[in-house]
Chains A and B, each alone.
Chain A
Amino acid sequence: MLTTYHFNVLHIPVTLRGPDTVLAPIVRSYGRFLSQDPPPGDSHEIRIESTRAESFTDGAEVVPVIRGGNLTLQIYERFLTAVFDRVSTHAVLHAAALVDARGDALLIAGPSGFGKTSLTLELLCRDFRFLSDDYAPIDLSTARVEPYPRTVGLLPDGTVRLPPRFIDAAADPTHPRMLGKVLIDVGEVLGDAVVADEAARLGHVVILESGDGAEPYRSVVHLGIWPRGREGAGTLLRSIPGAELLGQDDRDDISILRIRLDHGRLPPEHFSELLERDFVAFSETSPGVPADFRSTPNLAPLKRREAAVLLCREVQNRRRRGRLMQAYEGDTTRLFLDVAAALASARCFRLRVGDFETMANHVEGLTR
Chain B
Amino acid sequence: MRPDDRPTKTDRYLVRDLADELVLYDAESKKFHVLNATLREIFLHCDGQHSVDDLTRILVQEFEVDESTARRDTIEILDRLIDLEIVRVEQSEAAST
Contact = CB atoms under 8 A, between A and B. Distances in A.
Nearest to A341: B16
Interface string B57-70: 00000000000000
Q: How big is the A interface, by class?
A: 10 to 19
A305 B30 CA distance: 17
Given A333-B30, A334-B14, A337-B14, A303 B20 contact: yes
Interface of A: 303-305, 308, 331, 333-334, 337-338, 340-341, 343-345
A334 B16 CA distance: 10
Given A304-B21, A333-B32, A338 B16 contact: yes
Interface residues of B, number: 13
Contact of B19 (A337, A338, A345): A345
Contacts of B19: 304, 344-345
A329 to B, nearest CB: 9
> B16, B17, B23, B27 — which one has the most chain A CB atoms within 10 A of its CB?
B16
Interface string B26-40: 010010101000000
Interface string B5-24: 00000000010111111010
A341 B34 CA distance: 13
B21 A334 contact: no
A304 B27 contact: no
A304 B19 CA distance: 9
B24 to A, nearest CB: 9
Nearest to B17: A344
Interface of B: 14, 16-21, 23, 25, 27, 30, 32, 34
> A304, A337, A343 — which one has the most chain B CB atoms within 10 A of its CB?
A337
15 contacts: A303-B20, A304-B18, A304-B20, A305-B18, A308-B18, A333-B27, A333-B32, A334-B27, A337-B16, A337-B32, A340-B16, A340-B18, A341-B17, A344-B16, A344-B19
Mostly, the A contact residues are helix
Contacts of A340: 16, 18, 23
A304 B30 CA distance: 20
Contacts of B34: 305
A333 B19 CA distance: 19
Nearest to A338: B16
A193 to B, nearest CB: 33
Given A340-B16, A341-B17, A343-B18, A305 B25 contact: no
A305 B17 contact: no
B27 A305 contact: no
Contacts of B32: 333, 337
A337 B26 CA distance: 11
Contact of A331 (B16, B17, B21, B27): B27
Given A305-B34, A344-B19, 8 more contacts: A303-B18, A303-B20, A304-B19, A333-B32, A334-B14, A337-B25, A341-B16, A344-B17
A269 to B, nearest CB: 13
Nearest to B30: A333
A305 B21 contact: yes
Nearest to A345: B19
A187 B34 CA distance: 43
Nearest to B15: A337
B2 to A, nearest CB: 34
